[in-house]
Amino acid sequence: MSADLLGIAIIDILLFTFLVVTAIAIMHLRNLFAVVMLAGVFSLLSASLFVTLDAVDVAFTEAAVGAGISTVLMLGTLALTVREEKKPAHSVFLPVLVCLVAGAALIYGTLDMPAFGSADAPIHLHVAPAYIERTPIDTGVPNIVTAVLASYRGYDTLGETAVIFTAAIAVLLLLGAGIRQSGKDGGKE
Amino acid sequence: MPDIVLDLDFALGHYNYWMFVILMMTGLYVTVSRGNLIKKIVGLNLFQTSVFMLYISMGKIIGGTAPILTGDPDTVYSNPLPHVLILTAIVVGIATTALALALVIRISETLGTVEEDDILKMEHEMDFGVRKPGGGSR
């Protein structure tokens, strides 16, 4: 138990150090191209973290969607807008205070949480064992995540698809309207 | 409480949660303190990804394996339910990011800027027809 925990902890500490360094670099840099690239690096690092935490499905989705599609979308936006962020004009005192207070409250909240990786945490005792036990009998799908996503909670996934469809229509409407307008009267309303 | 906090096992057992708080607050700080709308969206993505880390950390069991059936009855599986939730959250997250970026492009086309301060100044001029004294609002 302790040796296993130590092994995972070393990988965790390494990955989290990289993640924090990347996040701080994103905070400081004003070149938006570098910021977007670092956001892709952040996504890829978090995908590696998900692999060490046994969430392989989440890891490849995060690598494909977070590091792939979202970087492409952001680069497209940069090509159509600006490359450099302006220096912030107002003071950072209030945001820092808000973040420190919220962070302190959250850390206080984690003190009561069960230790990382313990098998008797409440999350593992409620319905999860039932899903693990019944997946091969009910669905025959070896991957439990797929079974829950597509079979047990199929309607939720349908709802998720509806969300993506709505977002896609909204994006097309927003961008399509812009192209037509600028074609007609030179982008001036 | 202080003697528990200094305990190494306790620190290792909560390290993931503390790191998630640090990353999440970095994301929140980028979102609220930076005026550039694209950087705000990157900050929101940081915030979102750190929430994913919290959920996936809670689902992990030490000595467990990925929740793919091995056929061996003694196998311990990590909790698959947070994984399902977060898969949905990632996909919904990219949908909101795409929508936000489309809005940024429209704002940039209409107003010619993606800086919050400039946008607020222009809105003030549109509303009152005068330049606001001192410049920055809020």
Confirm whether A100 is domain-assigned. Answer: no
pLDDT at A6 over 80: no
Task: Tell me: do A79 and A4 sit in the same domain.
Answer: yes
Residue with tokens 């949905």: B88
Chain position carrying tokens 């092994």:
A7
Q: How far is CA A36 from CA A40, A82, A91, B34, in A?
A: 6, 12, 24, 15
Same-domain status, A9 and A77: yes
Question: For residue A101, is it within any domain?
Answer: no
CB contacts, 8 Å: A151 with chain B: none
Can you tell me whether residue B115 is helix, strand or coil? strand
Supply the pTM of this predicted model: 0.86
Average predicted confidence (pLDDT) for chain B: 85
Question: Length of chain A, please?
Answer: 189
Contacting residues for A148 by C-beta, under 8 A, at least 6 apart = A131, A135, B80, B81, B84
- Single-letter amino acid code for the residue at B60: K
CB contact under 8 A, B82 and A55: yes
Convert the pLDDT of each residue in B4-35 to its tens digit.
Answer: 546 777 877 788 889 999 999 999 999 998 88
Q: Can you give the residue range of the structural domain that contains A147?
A: 119-179
Looking at residue A14, which CATH number applies to its domain? 1.20.120.1200
Residues of A with Cβ-Cβ distance to B105 under 8 angstroms: 77, 80-81, 174-175, 178
Cα B3 to Cα A52, A116, B6, B38, distances in angstroms: 30, 19, 5, 44
CB within 8 Å: A156 and B80: no
State the sign of the Cα–Cα–Cα–Cα dihedral A15, B16, A63, B96.
negative
Averages of pLDDT over runs of 10 residues in chain B (138 residues) are: 62 85 93 90 94 91 86 86 92 93 91 86 84 52
Interface of A with B in 152-181 (CB under 8 A): 153, 156-157, 160, 163-164, 166-168, 170-171, 174-175, 177-178
Domain co-membership, A77 together with A131:
no
The letter for the amino acid at A20 is V
Question: How many domains would you assign to chain A?
Answer: 2
* Residue A29 shares a structural domain with residue A75: yes
- Give the pLDDT confidence score for residue B134 in this predicted structure: 54
CA–CA separation, A155 and A133 (whole Å): 22
Using 50, 70 and 90 to split pLDDT, how confident is the model at A57? very high
